[in-house]
Amino acid sequence: MVYDVIIVGAGPGGIFSAYELVHRNPKLKIAVYESGYPLEKRRCPVDGDRVKSCVKCPVCAIMSGFGGAGAFSDGKYNITNDFGGTLYEHIGRASALELMKYVDGINTAYGGDGTAMYSTAGTRFKKLCLQNRLQLLDASVRHLGTDINYVVLENLYQELKDKVSFFFETPVERLEVLEEGFRVFHRNGYDDGRRCIVSVGRSGSKWMEKVCRDLEIGTKSNRVDIGVRVELPAVIFSHLTDELYESKIVYRTEKFEDQVRTFCMNPRGIVVNENTNGIVTVNGHSYEGKEKQTENTNFALLVSKRFSEPFKDSNGYGESIARLSNMLGGGVIVQRFGDLVRGRRSNERRIEESTVTPTLAATPGDLSLVLPKRILDGIMEMIYALDKIAPGTANDDTLLYGVEVKFYNMEVDIDEHLETRYKGLYVIGDGSGVTHSLSHASASGVYVARRIAGEEA
C-alpha cells in the first residue's frame, strides 16, 4: 500500500500530526503504525491487590498504545518554553508557544472544556522562592487530569478513526529510504509512504537509535535525570498547588552547585510504577475528579547528569542505577526521609507506622545503597530548602520512592522543519530528543503536519 504520509507511533506527537493533516487536507491517505493497543485495550495488570508490582509485560500498557506514554499521565499540558523540551530552538519561541496554545484549544474542544488553567504570572511565590535560594519557573498549565485526558483521547480517536488507517500491535521493525519516499517493514509485510513522520517517544528510543545508525542520521548524546519521587500529605503543599497546581522549582546545591528541580507535581495524586524496556522506575499522576483524589501530593526531585567525552551512554548510566534499585527491591524502593537521614533502611513496620500512607506498594529499603552520594546529597539539600517554603517537607514521615529516572532520547539531527537529511523524513516528539512533554510533543506534530499539508496544497 502507498500512503501520502506514514506516521510511526500514536502518542501525542503522532496523534496531533494525524489530526492536523486530516484537518488541513482531508484527501491525504494517512497510516499510523503503533506497537501498543488501542486505548480501550490498554490495561496495566498491576491492581495493587492481586498483582502488586510490575510484571514486565512485553508491551507496556502504560507507555505504549493510542495516546502513547501520555494516555494515563496526569495530563498536564505546560505552555512554556522554560521546560518540557527545546522545540523553540528549532522553530522559534513564538511559534512554539502559538502551537502549544493551539493544542490546548483542541484538547478543550475534545473534552477538556471546564478543566483548570493555572499560571505563575504575578504569583507571590516567586519572591518567597527567591528568598530561600529557590527559583520558580514561569508557565501556564492546563491540568486535564488522568480521567479527562482519557476522554480527550477517546474523542480524538473517534474523530480520526475513519479518516486515518490505524494499525495497532504493529511495531515498525525497519525503515528504508526509497528513491521517492519511505518503506516501513512490519509483521504483515511492508507499506510505502511518500513522507514519514517518526514519533516513537521514549519507549522507542532504542529503535530510534538503530534507525539513525542504519540511515546514517547524526545523533548527539543527551542527558539523564536521576532522583526520587517525594510523597507527603497534600496539605503541606496545598498553598502552592491550590494556586499554581504544579510548581517547577529549581535549587542550586551549596555543596556541589548542582541543579536539583521539582518535576511532575501531582496534588492529591498517586505514585505509580513505570516500565521502560524492562526496567521499573517510579512516576506519578493525579485525577481531576475529586472522588479519585488521595490525601497525598507527590512530585519528583531530579538531578540532571550530562557527561563529556569519552562517555556517551547517559541513558545506560541511568539504567544501571535503576537496575540496582530493581535488584535490591525487586522493583521500586520506598524509604522514610527520617530513616534516610538516620542512615538506616525503612522496613514494613516503620512504613506502616508512618503518618503518610504510601499510594504505591513498593519495597521498604535504603536509597543510599542505590543513588550516588552526590545525587542523594543534592536531593536532601533541596528537601530542606523546600521545607522553608512548605514547612513539613522535611518531616521524618515524608516518603521517598526510588528511583525516578528521566531517560532522554539521543538528540536526532533535524533541521528547523524537524526534518532529517532525507527530505520528507521527519522525527518529532520525545523520540527526537527535542521534546520531553505532552505539550511540546503535540506541538511538534502540528508543526510538521502544517508543513506537509502546505507542500501538498
Ligand X SMILES: Cc1cc2nc3c(=O)[nH]c(=O)nc-3n(C[C@H](O)[C@H](O)[C@H](O)COP(=O)(O)OP(=O)(O)OC[C@H]3O[C@@H](n4cnc5c(N)ncnc54)[C@H](O)[C@@H]3O)c2cc1C
Q: Which residues bind ligand X (CB under 6 A)?
A: 8-14, 33-36, 63-65, 68-70, 73-76, 78, 84, 171-172, 199-204, 207, 264, 272, 274, 283, 285, 429-431, 436-439, 441
Query: Shortest distance, CB of residue 232 to ligand X, whole angstroms?
Result: 19
Answer for the pair 154, 84: CB distance below 8 angstroms, yes or no.
Answer: no
Query: Shortest distance, CB of residue 368 to ligand X, whole angstroms?
Result: 26
Query: Radius of gyration over alpha carbons of the chain, in Å?
Result: 21
Which residue lies nearer to ligand X by CB, 230 or 441? 441
CB atoms within 10 A of CB 338: 16
Which residue lies nearer to ligand X by CB, 18 or 351? 18
Residue 452, beta-bridge partner list: none
Query: Shortest distance, CB of residue 269 to ligand X, whole angstroms?
Result: 10
Query: Shortest distance, CB of residue 205 to ligand X, whole angstroms?
Result: 9
Residue 238 φ/ψ, nearest 5 degrees: -65, -30
**Contacts with 243 (C-beta within 8 Å, 6 or more apart), sequence order:** 118, 123, 125
For residues 137 and 246, what is the distance between their CA atoms, to the nearest angstrom? 10
User: Which grid coordinates belong to 92?
Assistant: 522559534
Query: Shortest distance, CB of residue 31 to ligand X, whole angstroms?
Result: 11
Query: Shortest distance, CB of residue 388 to ligand X, whole angstroms?
Result: 26
38 class by beta-carbon count within 10 Å (0-12 exposed, 13-18 middle, 19+ buried): middle
For residues 148 and 403, what is the distance between their CA atoms, to the nearest angstrom? 28
List alpha helices for 296-347, DSSP H.
Answer: 314-329, 337-341
User: Which grid coordinates belong to 456?
Assistant: 501538498
Query: Shortest distance, CB of residue 238 to ligand X, whole angstroms?
Result: 19
For residues 198 and 124, what is the distance between their CA atoms, to the nearest angstrom? 42
For residues 197 and 202, what is the distance between their CA atoms, to the nearest angstrom? 16
For residues 199 and 13, what is the distance between their CA atoms, to the nearest angstrom? 6
For residues 268 and 17, what is the distance between their CA atoms, to the nearest angstrom? 33
Which residue lies nearer to ligand X by CB, 120 or 253? 120
Which residue lies nearer to ligand X by CB, 38 or 392? 38
3 state SS of 339: helix
For residues 163 and 161, what is the distance between their CA atoms, to the nearest angstrom? 6
Query: Shortest distance, CB of residue 127 to ligand X, whole angstroms?
Result: 27
User: Which grid coordinates belong to 361?
Assistant: 506498594
Which residue lies nearer to ligand X by CB, 273 or 363? 273
Which residue lies nearer to ligand X by CB, 149 or 346? 149
Answer for the pair 433, 411: CB distance below 8 angstroms, yes or no.
Answer: yes
User: Which grid coordinates belong to 212?
Assistant: 539513525
Which residue lies nearer to ligand X by CB, 127 or 210? 210
Query: Shortest distance, CB of residue 202 to ligand X, whole angstroms?
Result: 5
Query: Shortest distance, CB of residue 23 to ligand X, whole angstroms?
Result: 18
Which residue lies nearer to ligand X by CB, 145 or 329? 145
208 dihedral zone (left: phi>0; alpha: psi -120 to 50; beta):
alpha
Which residue lies nearer to ligand X by CB, 276 or 363? 276
Answer for the pair 294, 359: CB distance below 8 angstroms, yes or no.
Answer: yes
3 state SS of 342: coil
Answer for the pair 115, 145: CB distance below 8 angstroms, yes or no.
Answer: yes
Which residue lies nearer to ligand X by CB, 13 or 329? 13
Query: Shortest distance, CB of residue 70 to ligand X, whole angstroms?
Result: 3
Which residue lies nearer to ligand X by CB, 385 or 434? 434
